[in-house]
Amino acid sequence: MSASHSAQGKEAPYYYVPADSGHPVRTALALLVVGLGAAAWVNGVGWGKWAVLAGFLGVIAVLYFWFGDAIAESEGGLFSKRVDLSYRWGMSWFIFSEVMFFAGFFGALWYVRTITTPWLGDMDHRLLLWPDFQAVWPNFGPAGVVEHFQTVGPFWLPTINTALLLTSGVTLTISHHALRANHRGSAIFWLAATVLLGFTFVACQAYEYHHAYSELNLKFNSGAYGSLFYMLTGFHGFHVIMGATMLTVILVRLIRGHFTADHHFGFEGAAWYWHFVDVVWLGLYLFVYWF
């Protein structure tokens, strides 16, 4: 993430266009390795998991240098207000794509619960297909195909995680206001608290997964419920990790003296993403754990 202007207040009078870069090609190659490794892994090929690991490490390395170049350009005063506007539009469309991503999974949850399950449980389908099928949510499939499992309720870990994320949204907002007031020390403190809360959320969710898998027998193949539970909460957890990592980078930059009270889109872009993650979790908390 980059700022629109340097900490020294320098601003380019033109729209900066960077030179040709090999970063996109290197990222594509690393992602190709991830995809090939994942395909091999799910088919039981031994080297698959190592290829996935190598690909992800490659992606991280490329992003480190790519973001470093963007930060150097920003701090060197190469960016103008037009570049700042481009970053804002880019981040806005990125978050919109993420909204559509999660909308697909929430839509699948709604469709399975309110349409497919009652449809398979009506008289015609019960007589012709699965006489023992029970149209309840969650269900164990026809004729007990799915091993018995227990669902994950809202108490207590999901509720604790909700409190953690909501609190992190508050601390991030306080940090943002402190930065705008040019209180850098306070901004650093509250942003560090936000990062700590974010990674604490991840740790709690990891413990929840262990509990669900080992004690509740809830697995990815536990019918539609198990698949949707792990897809929704797992992808959200991945986004929390990414958001907390972004905020960690912003924290390091803030400590190094980057950003000004008026120009700090790097901070704002990461904050937008974090608040989006908070809102998605509220939907998960209601529709996955409560309803």
pLDDT digits (tens, 9 = 90+) for 151-187: 888 888 999 999 999 999 999 999 999 999 999 999 9
User: What does the DSSP assignment read for 217-262?
Assistant: ---TTSHHHHHHHHHHHHHHHHHHHHHHHHHHHHHHHHHTT---SS
Task: Identify the pLDDT of residue 2.
Answer: 42
Q: How would residue 127 be classed by pLDDT, with cut points 50, 70 and 90? A: low
Model confidence pLDDT, tens digit, residues 243-277: 999 999 999 999 998 988 888 999 999 999 999 99
Average confidence (pLDDT) over 230-238: 94
**Does 40 lie in the same domain as 150?**
no
Task: Identify the pLDDT of residue 126.
Answer: 63
Query: Would you say residue 136 has pLDDT above 70?
Result: yes
Model confidence pLDDT, tens digit, residues 72-93: 888 888 888 888 889 999 999 9
Task: Identify the pLDDT of residue 147.
Answer: 82
- Residue 282 belongs to some domain of the structure: yes
Task: Identify the pLDDT of residue 124.
Answer: 66
**Which residue carries 């193949």 as its tokens?**
221
Task: Identify the pLDDT of residue 8.
Answer: 47
Omega of the bond leading into 156 within 30 degrees of 0 (cis): yes
Task: Identify the pLDDT of residue 282.
Answer: 94
**Does 268 lie in the same domain as 148?**
yes
Query: Would you say residue 6 has pLDDT above 50?
Result: no
Percentage of the residues of the chain whose pLDDT score is greater than 90: 60
Angle (CA) 258-262-263 rounded to 5° is 50
Q: Select from 58, 78, 98 the last residue of a domain.
A: 78
Task: Identify the pLDDT of residue 128.
Answer: 65
Question: What CATH number does the domain containing 277 carry?
Answer: 1.20.120.80
CA distances from residue 65 to 2, 58, 243 in whole angstroms, order as listed: 13, 11, 19
Q: In whole numbers, what is the pLDDT of the chain averaged over residues?
A: 88
Task: Identify the pLDDT of residue 123.
Answer: 62
The H-or-E segment that residue 70 falls in is helix 48-75
**Does 159 lie in the same domain as 36?**
no
Question: What distance in Å separates the CA atoms of residue 291 and residue 281, rounded to the nearest whole number?
Answer: 14
Question: Which candidate, 283, 275, 262, 276, places its Cα nearest to that of 84?
Answer: 262
Q: Select from 30, 47, 78 the last residue of a domain.
A: 78
Omega of the bond leading into 24 within 30 degrees of 0 (cis): no
Could you give the number of structural domains in the chain?
2
Query: pTM here?
Result: 0.85
Average confidence (pLDDT) over 186-209: 96
- Residue 7 belongs to some domain of the structure: no
Residue span of the structural domain in which 26 resides: 18-78
**Does 108 lie in the same domain as 207?**
yes
